[in-house]
Amino acid sequence: MTVFRTLDVDDSEVFYRQAGDPTHQAVLLLHGFPSSSAQYQELIDALADRYRLIAPDLPGFGRSAPLEGTSTFDRLADTIERFTELMDLGRYTLYLFDFGAPVGFRLATRHPARVQGLIIQNGNAYEAGIGPNLTGLAPYWQDRVAHEPAVRQFLTLESTRAQYLEGVPDPEQVRPDLYELDQRYQDLPGRDQVMLDLIYDYTSNLALYPAWQAYLREHQPPALIAWGKNDNYFTADGARAYLTDLPNAQLHLLDTGHFATATHSRQLAALINAHLSAYVTAEPSAGPVAAS
């Protein structure tokens, strides 16, 4: 059974959903733009009998309050890092998707010993994976003020709906309540500024791609790469690029778009269970971790 709670993390409140035995291996699921932990509920339901699943809403997303001041990926990572410590996660597997990937890679590079493995679903770390929908933001990165009106189109229901449906062979597979819920949260007061800040700050992630790749080469975490191959934000070339640094990773290209969880949750759950079963031991996930 999933429980829904809010945790005070320093000066912010982080909403999260959790299921599974707390002594089982932890999986930390980090959502993307413009979503929330709700995107993982089907996966949580499918896997909670074997693992401890924890899915927080990033600050300024879903039911988590925005941070005071400017939102950046560094600040999101600071909050989620502290969240993992307060939750006593110990070692955990990271599920990396979209905006959750740069948050998760910051956690992994700061504390490699805490990360037991990776599940990467349309979470980019290579220039080869940058698709046309993302490169369209380049003018905003060069002149934020002049191009803000155009970027605000990304914050509309039409755009949110398109993120879910683009690249999906049968759009009727996608439940409308998924993107309508995302939009409801996105339309809350002040959320537009959070999203504009983070879209602008995405260039900080591009600068860190080489460091994340170095982390992968050095530490070789067990990795499952399950990728919607029709994604125009992060293309399938980005999925394949991981194999240059993680030659032993499992790669599965799914016939869907950006939000693979909206169409392939059952298949993803089966892949995740097989992946985790191959390396997860009986060690409890909770408790202190070695400094790293």
Tokens (6 digits) for 23: 């002594």
Distance CA 181, CA 34 (A): 10
Rounded to whole angstroms, the Cα distance separating 143 from 59 reads: 25
Res 281: pLDDT: 57
CA atoms within 13 Å, Cβ hemisphere of 243: 9
Report whether pLDDT(209) > 80.
Answer: yes
In this model, does residue 213 exceed pLDDT 50? yes
Percentage of the residues of the chain whose pLDDT score is greater than 90: 94
Q: Does residue 291 sit within a domain?
A: no
The whole domain housing 233 covers: 3-279
Mean pLDDT across the stretch 230-244?
A: 98
Q: What is the mean pLDDT of residues 213-241?
A: 98
How large is the average pLDDT for residues 27-48?
A: 97
Please write the tens of the pLDDT for every residue from 253-291.
Answer: 999 999 999 999 999 999 999 999 988 754 444 444 433
Query: 254 in a domain, yes or no?
Result: yes
Could you report the per-residue pLDDT of 88-106, keeping only the tens digit for each? 999 999 999 999 999 999 9
Any domain includes 169: yes
**Judging by DSSP bridges, how do beta strands 250-254 and 223-228 pair with one another?**
parallel
pLDDT of residue 284: 45
What CATH number does residue 267 fall under?
A: 3.40.50.1820
Token code pair at residue 270: 């089966």
Domain contains 292: no
Please give the tally of structural domains in the chain: 1
Query: 223-228 and 92-96 as β-strands: parallel, antiparallel, unpaired?
Result: unpaired
Residue 173 placed within a domain: yes
Mean pLDDT along residues 25-30: 97
Q: Does residue 261 lie within any of the structural domains? A: yes
Answer yes or no: is 149 within a domain.
yes
Determine which one of 24, 31, 258, 264 is catalytic: 258
Residue 44 CA to residue 56 CA, distance in Å, equals 12
Q: What is the pLDDT of residue 285?
A: 46
Using the predicted structure, report yes or no on whether residue 115 has a pLDDT greater than 70.
Answer: yes
Domain contains 285: no
Respond yes or no: is residue 258 known to be catalytic.
yes
**Residue 11: per-residue pLDDT:** 85
Q: Which two tokens stand for residue 277?
A: 């079963």
- Which stretches of 39-72 are DSSP H helices? 41-47
